[in-house]
Amino acid sequence: MTSDTLVPKFSFQQSLSSIFQWMPTCALIIDINGNIQEVNQLAIQFFRASTKEDFIFDKQNIKNMVIDRHRAIELIELICKSQKPVNREILLRRFDKTIAGADMNAGLLPDNPNFILFQFTETYSQSQTILSELSEAFRREALRLKPYLNKPGKELLEEIIITNLLDGITTNKPTRNEQLIVVGEDRINQISKKFPQLSNSELIICGYLSLRMSIDNVANLTGKTANSLRVAFHRILRKTNLASGKELLKLLETVK
C-alpha cells in the first residue's frame, strides 16, 4: 500500500474547507451511513454545541439528531437513490435538549457521492418563544387574583387557566403557509390501534410524545401552552385506564 492510498476522509478539505466554513447557513457533511464528518461554525451555534469535538464525539450520527430516526434513515436513502438535492421541513434535537424546526436542503457532493452536504435554516422565530413567555407570565399574574375572588369567580378563573382559552394570547404568532408534518400517518395509525378511544387531536399529542419529546417541546412546536397540554395528557391517561403517566409514555415509546 502506497502513501497515495492513505487519503483523508475528505479530499475536498484542502480546497473547499474555507468555503465550507464561510457558508451562510448551518452546514454539516456526513457519509452515506449518517456519520458526521465535518461541521461549520454556524452548525456549532445552531445545535448549541461548545466545539466541533462535541459534535463528532457526542452526536456522531445525523440519525441521532433527527427527532424521528426512521425518517432520517429514509431521508438518507432517498438522497442516495435520487442523486438530486432534497428539500424538507424537519425537526432536530439540539445539544441542550431543545427542539428546532428547520428547512433542510441536502444533496450528494458532486465530486464525492459517498458524502452528503446538509444545510439547515431555523424556521421558528424568537417571537414564538416570547409569546409563550408572555402567556405564562399572564397566567402567573392571573393566579394572584384567586385569594380575592368569591367561589364563582375562582371557578371561572380555574376554567380560564386550565382550558385552552389562554392560548388565544398567541393567536397572532407568526404562521407558516404549510404546517410542518412531524408525526407520520403510519405512527398515528399504530397509536390508534392501541388506543381507539382517543380523538384525532389526542392521537396527535400521543404521536409527539412517542417521539420522546417533552411537553415543553411540544408546546413550543404547536403554539399551545404547556399547562393545556398537561391537562390533555391527563385526559388521555383517564381514557386509556393505565395506572400512571409513566406507563403511558413507556407504551407510546414502543411505537416505531
Q: What is the pLDDT along the chain (256 residues), one digit of tens a residue?
A: 444 444 444 444 444 566 677 788 899 999 999 999 888 889 998 998 888 888 877 657 888 888 877 878 888 999 998 888 888 888 888 888 778 888 889 999 887 888 999 999 887 544 455 555 666 666 677 777 778 778 777 776 666 655 544 444 444 443 333 334 567 778 888 898 889 998 888 888 898 888 888 888 888 777 778 888 888 898 898 888 888 888 999 898 888 7
Same domain, yes or no: 106 and 135: no
Same domain, yes or no: 83 and 176: no
Same domain, yes or no: 159 and 242: yes
Same domain, yes or no: 99 and 210: no
Same domain, yes or no: 152 and 103: no
| CA angle in degrees (0–180, nearest 5) for 28-43-106 | 35
CATH number at residue 99: 3.30.450.20
Same domain, yes or no: 173 and 208: yes
Same domain, yes or no: 192 and 235: yes
Query: Which structural domain, as residue segments, surrounds residue 87?
Result: 3-122
Same domain, yes or no: 107 and 177: no
Give the residue from 122, 154, 184 where a domain finishes.
122
Same domain, yes or no: 143 and 117: no
pTM, 2 dp = 0.54
Same domain, yes or no: 136 and 244: yes
Give the residue from 122, 157, 183 where a domain finishes.
122
In the chain, how many domains are there?
2
Same domain, yes or no: 75 and 130: no
Same domain, yes or no: 177 and 206: yes
Report the alpha-carbon distance of residue 20 to residue 29 in Å, rounded. 10
Give the residue from 86, 101, 122 where a domain finishes.
122
What phi and psi values does residue 33 have, to the nearest 5 degrees?
A: -95, 0
